[in-house]
């Protein structure tokens, strides 16, 4: 049985091959129409070999150097502060279809999300897989998504560019495979979000072109080892289980039963306490003799 990442990578390839830009809404950020040649020409055979080889538990090399959207030289270590998990994506900024859809849907999910990138809960880093892309393009892409997000300019969502070696090393550590088709001048790559702990440990992969807020929140809570999110968030997480066949979180029967059982015990305990208080004899003060 094929792994979910094989299936989803195939979906991503199909989107790129056939230019199904209709998946994106007309008002989405920076949606560029693919060239006619990109729609009509088949992908090279090497393009169909992309995949995600999950490296759960591995530590990312945070010494890898990149350039941020302002042109500043940075290292991945600048985004791992030991306190907040990091949500990582690998895309490229002039992508005609797939990256636009993925990043637009991520932006849409974040627009009504309880947390904002850069608060005490998490940060986001998007790295271009195209070594030819420059900070000017990264900055333009970032501005478009922050404008759509509607939470100001101080959002901690970094858009990075880098040289071919740094990009390849990061992709290899994350287990993300991609391929360049020189005939179409496009990259094929899977649509995946990687959740890393504050210490840069790879904790979770979530696949697809759209994102449920529960997937984001639960992934971040797991990546932070419970350091972010409320007690209620952690209780709700116990009712959900990461489904490896779907690459998403789904209801977990035993978790639901456990919480339901705890609630039942609490309800019965409260009822017994109320009944016990009602059954207590009222204290009658003794008569004072004269």
- Greatest mean pLDDT among 124-128, 152-156, 237-241 lies in 124-128
| Residue 207 and residue 190 in contact, taking contact as beta carbons nearer than 8 Å | yes
Predicted pLDDT at 42: 52
Residue 176 pLDDT > 60, yes or no? Answer: yes
Closest CA to 125 of 75, 173, 86: 86
Write down the domain spans for the chain. 4-237
Residue 258 pLDDT > 50, yes or no? Answer: no
190 against 76, higher pLDDT: 76
Predicted pLDDT at 254: 38
| Residue 6 and residue 51 in contact, taking contact as beta carbons nearer than 8 Å | yes
How far is the CA of 82 from the CAs of 13, 87, 188, 227, 228, in angstroms? 36, 14, 33, 11, 12
CB-based contacts of 275, cutoff 8 Å, min separation 6: none
161 against 45, higher pLDDT: 161
Q: Does domain 4-237 have CATH number 3.90.650.10?
A: no
- The 8-class DSSP code of residue 45 comes to G
Q: Which residues of 164-194 are buried (b: 16+ CB within 10 A; e: fewer)?
A: eebbebbbebbbbbbbbbeebebbbbbbbbb
Q: Of all helices (H) and strands (E), which one includes residue 4?
A: helix 4-18
Predicted pLDDT at 28: 46
Predicted pLDDT at 177: 93
List, in sequence order, the alpha helices (H) in 112-252.
Answer: 135-149, 164-174, 213-223, 231-237
């Amino acid at each position: 049985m094929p792994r979910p990442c094989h299936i989803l990578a195939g979906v991503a390839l199909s989107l790129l091959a056939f230019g199904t830009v209709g998946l994106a809404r007309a008002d989405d950020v920076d949606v560029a129409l693919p060239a006619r040649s990109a729609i009509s020409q088949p992908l090279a055979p090497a393009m169909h070999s992309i995949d995600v080889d999950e490296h759960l538990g591995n530590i990312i090399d945070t010494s890898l150097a990149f350039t941020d959207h302002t042109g500043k030289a940075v290292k991945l270590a600048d985004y791992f502060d030991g306190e907040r998990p990091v949500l990582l994506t690998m895309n490229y900024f002039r992508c005609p279809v797939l990256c636009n859809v993925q990043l637009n849907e991520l932006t849409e999910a974040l627009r009504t999300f309880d947390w904002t990138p850069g608060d005490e809960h998490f940060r986001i880093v998007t790295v271009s897989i195209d070594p030819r892309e420059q900070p000017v393009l990264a900055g333009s892409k970032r501005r478009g998504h922050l404008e759509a997000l509607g939470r100001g300019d101080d959002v901690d969502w970094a858009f990075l560019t880098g040289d071919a070696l740094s990009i390849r090393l990061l992709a290899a550590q994350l287990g993300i495979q991609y391929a360049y088709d020189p005939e179409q001048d496009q990259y094929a790559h899977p649509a995946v979000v990687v959740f890393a702990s504050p210490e840069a440990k790879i904790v979770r992969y979530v696949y697809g072109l759209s994102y449920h807020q529960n997937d984001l929140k639960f992934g971040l809570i797991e990546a932070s080892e419970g350091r972010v999110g409320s007690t209620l968030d952690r209780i709700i997480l116990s009712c959900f289980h990461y489904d490896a066949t779907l690459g998403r979180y789904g209801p977990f029967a035993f978790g639901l039963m456990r919480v339901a059982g705890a609630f039942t015990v609490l309800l019965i305990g409260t009822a017994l306490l109320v009944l016990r208080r009602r059954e207590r004899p009222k204290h009658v003060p003794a008569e004072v003799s004269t």
